[in-house]
Amino acid sequence: MPEFLEKKLKKEYGDNPHAIYGTMNKLGYMHGSKETTKGRKAEKKHESAKHKALRLKVKEKKEDKE
């Protein structure tokens, strides 16, 4: 399941699993308790963007030191 989305929804809805998983089902990231292709792609895209931002930050630090 998209962990980033689950964490975001937990902040918004607190400890209400029906709201969290209901929202992910409605958005199409999950179907029942199973993650959909859309959910896997969203998680992969989020991780990719996170790593890209980290690489840019590291690259900037290296350039500053030189």
3-state secondary structure of 35: strand
Q: Which one-letter amino acid corresponds to residue 13?
A: Y
Torsion sign across C-alpha atoms 57, 51, 27, 30: negative
Res 63 pLDDT > 90: no
Q: CB 33: neighbour CB atoms within 10 A? A: 8
**pLDDT at res. 60:** 81
**pLDDT at res. 66:** 66
**pLDDT at res. 19:** 93
Contact call for residues 66 and 57 (beta carbons, < 8 A)? no
What digits encode the pLDDT tens for the residues 8-57?
999 999 989 899 999 999 999 999 889 999 999 999 998 898 888 888 88
Which residues neighbour 13 within 8 Å (Cβ) at sequence distance 6 or greater?
A: 19, 20, 23
